[in-house]
Amino acid sequence: MARKSNNGRDGALIDTWTWKYRGIEDDLSAHLRGEEDEPHGADGEMHRSEDKRPLLVKEQVIKIEVRLLKDLADEALPRTVKAVEFAVICRELDIRLVGSDIEALRVALWAKLEAAHEITWERWYLVQIASAQSFVGDQETGFALSQNTIYRGVTRDGTLLMREYERGRTFGPWRYKPWPGEYQDKGGHVIACIPATSANDKALSEFRSRILELQRRLSDLVKPAVILQTLANLSAVGLPAPTREGDAE
C-alpha cells in the first residue's frame, strides 16, 4: 500500500511564485497609454511609467506556494518514490491545484486568478435632448435625442467604476473613473443615466420613432403651399408657446 511523504497534505515547499494585479488608474491607465513597456530593471520586473495617476483599484501581489508531493512505496527504509506531483496553492483565494506538469498548473492557476479579479462590466446609457444643427441655414433651431453608451463595472472588492470612450469615438483606449452616481457633462448639467436593458432599448427606439414622426409633421407645416398659413396661425400648430424669456428669439 502506497502512502504520501511525511510533509503533510501539501507536501514540501519548494518554491514561491507571485501573481500581480496591476490595478486600474484614474482616467487613462499608463499601460493603455502605451507607456508600460519600459526597460526591465535589474530584478527582471517591468517598471511602471513615472506618469502615475491615482489608483481606482489598488495593485495587488498574491503569493503562491509551489509544493512537492511524493508517493512513497510502503516498504522498509529508504522508501522508493513511486510518483511525484506538484501542488500550487493560493491561500488568499483558497485555490489548490495538483498535477505532474508544473507549467500547466501555472497556466491554469493564472487563469483562475485573472477570472477572480476580472471586472464585471454592464452597459448603461446616457440619454439627453441635445441641440442639433445641419449648418444649412443662417439660423437653425433643432434638437436630437442623444444616446451614448458607458459601462458600469464592479470589482472583486465591490468598487464601482465607470469606463467610456472619448465622446464622438466608438473605439480606442478606455477612460476609467469612479462610478459617479449621477453623470454630469462638462458644463455641470446632470444627464440621465439608465441601464441598457431590453425594455429600455425598446422604449428608446419608440422614443426615436416618435421624434421622427414629429419631424415629418413639422416638415409638412413649412411646405411652400402652407407655410404662410402656418406662420399666420402658430397657435393652431399644436406646439407649446415659449415659457422662458428668450426662447422665442
pLDDT of residue 38: 40
Residues with Cβ within 8 Å of 25's Cβ and at least 6 positions away in sequence, in order, are 52, 53, 54, 55, 56, 176
Asked whether 99 and 86 are in contact (CB, 8 A), the reply is: yes
User: Got the DSSP string for 83-121?
Assistant: EEEEEEEETTTTEEEEES-HHHHHHHHHHHHHHHTPPEE
Hey, what's the cell of 50?
A: 513615472
| Burial class of residue 86 in the structure, from the number of CB atoms within 10 Å of its CB (0-12 exposed, 13-18 middle, 19+ buried) | buried
Residues with Cβ within 8 Å of 128's Cβ and at least 6 positions away in sequence, in order, are 146, 191, 192
pLDDT of residue 67: 95
Taking the C-alpha atoms of residue 22 and residue 59, their distance in angstroms, rounded to an integer, is 5
Domain boundaries, the chain: 3-116, 121-236
Residue 230 sits at φ, ψ, to 5 deg, of: -60, -50
pLDDT of residue 43: 47
Task: Tell me how far apart the terminal alpha carbons of the chain are, to the nearest angstrom.
Answer: 97
Residue found by looking up cell 503569493 in the block: 63
pTM of the model: 0.71
pLDDT of residue 185: 80
Taking the C-alpha atoms of residue 101 and residue 104, their distance in angstroms, rounded to an integer, is 5
pLDDT of residue 4: 45
pLDDT of residue 87: 95
User: What is the chain's pLDDT, residue by residue, as a tens digit (249 residues)?
Assistant: 344 444 556 789 999 999 999 888 777 544 444 444 443 444 445 444 445 567 888 888 999 999 999 887 776 677 677 788 999 999 999 999 999 999 999 999 999 999 999 999 999 999 999 888 888 888 888 888 999 999 999 998 899 999 988 766 666 678 889 998 888 887 888 899 999 999 999 999 999 999 999 999 999 999 999 999 999 998 888 888 888 665 555
